[in-house]
Amino acid sequence: MKFFIDTANLKDIKDANDLGILDGVTTNPSLMAKEGITGVANIIAHYIKICELVDGDVSAEVISTDFEGMIAEGEKLAALHPQIVVKIPMIKDGIKAIKYFSNKGIRTNCTLIFSAGQALLAAKAGATYVSPFIGRLDDISTDGLALIEEIRLIYDNYGYETQILAASVRHVMHILNCAKIGADVITGPLSAIEGLMKHPLTDSGLATFLADYQKGNN
């Protein structure tokens, strides 16, 4: 399973990358705004910084919602760096744009996926990734992980190569359950990724080992 970090924060990206387990980065306009990155030139410069920081796919989201706009924006984004994946919302013109980019060999991430039907359509159009938002589904008392299971089944039935990028991941259990189901990728905050390494028995066990070493070597 690939690990992406879902942030535009360069320090968090660097911290995750330094662990040696990072496969890519996802961003969105809200995450950019959270870091105070505004204006096209700054946003573009930020994408390039992220690409230079990590060795993996970096999702860059279009703002346009019409076909022509998405094509113009997506082509500019894709030309910025070979690691850029154009992130396109699940709307009618978005599907057309994904098909267009797929024909041109430009990689896409279809975002804001909340149903298996949307994921099926994105795969038909040739999306490289689909991003089902599991945390946001959980927030409205709908089982986000059940959606990952449904999409996995459908893609496996037909051998779709579109990768399931479980997004809106909030915590360790999301990551573990995505791994059990067979999501291709998870994207979440640094806290969720780092949470995987934490266990109180590891901490207490290490403290005991170090204390016993000190006793024997004093």
In the complex, which residues of this chain contact ligand E4P (CB under 6 A)? Answer: 6, 26, 28, 111, 131, 133, 135-136, 167-168, 187
Nearer to ligand E4P, 46 or 214 (CB): 46
CB of 157 to ligand E4P, least distance (A): 25
Q: Which residue, 32 or 199, is less far from ligand E4P as judged by CB?
A: 32
Q: Is 87 a catalytic residue?
A: yes
Residue 77 dihedral angles phi and psi, to the nearest 5°? -65, -45
Minimum distance from residue 135 beta carbon to ligand E4P (Å): 5
Q: Which is nearer to ligand E4P, 76 or 136 (CB)?
A: 136
Residue of 11, 49, 87, 92 marked active site: 87
C-beta of 34 vs 203, nearer to ligand E4P: 34
The least distance separating ligand E4P from the CB of residue 106, rounded to whole angstroms, comes to 18
**Closest separation in Å from C-beta 89 to ligand E4P:** 11
Active site residues: 87
